[in-house]
Amino acid sequence: MRGYAVRRVLLLVPTLLGIALLTFFLSNLTPGDPADSYFSRLNGRSPSTEELQQVRVELGLDRPFAARFASFIGDAAQGDLDVSFSTRQPVAGELLRRIPFTLQLAVPAAVLALLIAVPAGVLCAVRRNRFTDQAVRLLSLAGASMPSFWLALLLIIVFAVKLHLVPVAGRGGLDSYILPIVTLAMVPAASLTRFTRSTVLETLNSDYVLTARSKGLGELRVVGNHALRNAIIPLLTSFSNSVAQLLAGAAVVETIFVWPGLGKLVVDAILERDYPTIAGSVLYAGITFAVVNLLVDLAYAVLDPRISLVGRRR
Partner 1 sequence: MPRSRRLILALVTLLVMAACSSSDDTATGTGASTTAALTDPAKELRVGFTEDQYVLSGPDTSLAGYPLNTNVYEPLILMGPNYELKPLLAERWELRAPNTWRFFLRPGVKFHDGQPLNAQAVKTGLFDRVAKRTGGGTIKSGPNAAVVVDDLTIDFTPTTPNLRVPEQIVHPQNSVEAPGSDAGKKPVGTGPFTFVEYLPKERIVVQRNEAYWGSKAKLAKITYRFYPDSNARRLALEAGDIDFAYLIPGPDVQGLKSRGFNVLASPVGAYTALYANIHGNATHDLLQDVNVRQAVATGIDRKQLVDGVLDGQATTDQTMIPPGALGSAASTVKGFTYDPTKAKDLLAKAGWTAGGDGIREKAGRKLKLTLVSGFPSAEILRPIPTFIQSQLKLIGVDVAVVERPDSASYQALITSGDGDLYLEQGNQNDANAGFLPTLLFFKGAAGGGGSAPYQTLFAPGPTFDQLLAPAVTEPDPAKVRQHVADAMHEAIDVQAAILPVAGNFRTYGLTKKVQGFTPHSSFLSVRWEDVGLTA
Judged by CB, which is closer to partner 1: 171, or 213?
Answer: 171
Whole-angstrom distance, CA of residue 143 vs CA of residue 244: 19
Using CB under 8 A as the binding rule, whether residue 99 contacts partner 1 is answered as: yes
With vertex at residue 234, the alpha carbon angle to CA 206 and CA 186, rounded to the nearest 5 degrees, is 120
With CB under 8 A as the contact rule, the residue among 5, 12, 16, 54 that binds partner 1 is 54
Using CB under 8 A as the binding rule, whether residue 184 contacts partner 1 is answered as: no
Residues in CB range of 163: below 8 A, 6 or more apart: none
Minimum distance, C-beta of residue 216 to partner 1, in the bound complex (Å): 27
| Piece of the chain touching partner 1 by CB under 8 A; list 67-75, 100-108, 139-147, 188-196 | 100-108
Using CB under 8 A as the binding rule, whether residue 47 contacts partner 1 is answered as: yes
Using CB under 8 A as the binding rule, whether residue 307 contacts partner 1 is answered as: no
Long-range CB contacts (< 8 A, 24+ apart) of 2-10? 3/310, 4/297, 4/298, 4/309, 4/310, 5/294, 5/298, 8/290, 8/294, 8/297, 9/294
Judged by CB, which is closer to partner 1: 104, or 293?
Answer: 104
Residues in CB range of 251: below 8 A, 6 or more apart: 263, 264, 266, 267
| Piece of the chain touching partner 1 by CB under 8 A; list 11-19, 32-40, 123-131, 282-290 | 32-40
Using CB under 8 A as the binding rule, whether residue 108 contacts partner 1 is answered as: yes
Judged by CB, which is closer to partner 1: 46, or 206?
Answer: 46
Residues in CB range of 144: below 8 A, 6 or more apart: 187, 190, 191, 194
The C-alpha R_g of the chain, in whole angstroms, comes to 24
Question: What amino acid occupies position 302?
Answer: V
Using CB under 8 A as the binding rule, whether residue 154 contacts partner 1 is answered as: no
Residues in CB range of 20: below 8 A, 6 or more apart: 69, 72, 73, 76, 279, 282, 283
DSSP label at 107?
H
Using CB under 8 A as the binding rule, whether residue 42 contacts partner 1 is answered as: yes
CB atoms within 10 A of CB 82: 19
Using CB under 8 A as the binding rule, whether residue 7 contacts partner 1 is answered as: no
With CB under 8 A as the contact rule, the residue among 73, 295, 297, 309 that binds partner 1 is 295
Minimum distance, C-beta of residue 82 to partner 1, in the bound complex (Å): 14
With CB under 8 A as the contact rule, the residue among 9, 15, 18, 48 that binds partner 1 is 48
Whole-angstrom distance, CA of residue 191 vs CA of residue 196: 9
Using CB under 8 A as the binding rule, whether residue 160 contacts partner 1 is answered as: yes
With CB under 8 A as the contact rule, the residue among 5, 16, 139, 153 that binds partner 1 is 153
Q: Which residues bind partner 1 (CB under 8 A)?
A: 30-34, 36-37, 39-51, 54-55, 58, 86-89, 97, 99-101, 103-104, 106-108, 153, 156-157, 160-161, 164, 167-171, 255-258, 260, 264, 268, 271, 273, 295, 299, 302-303
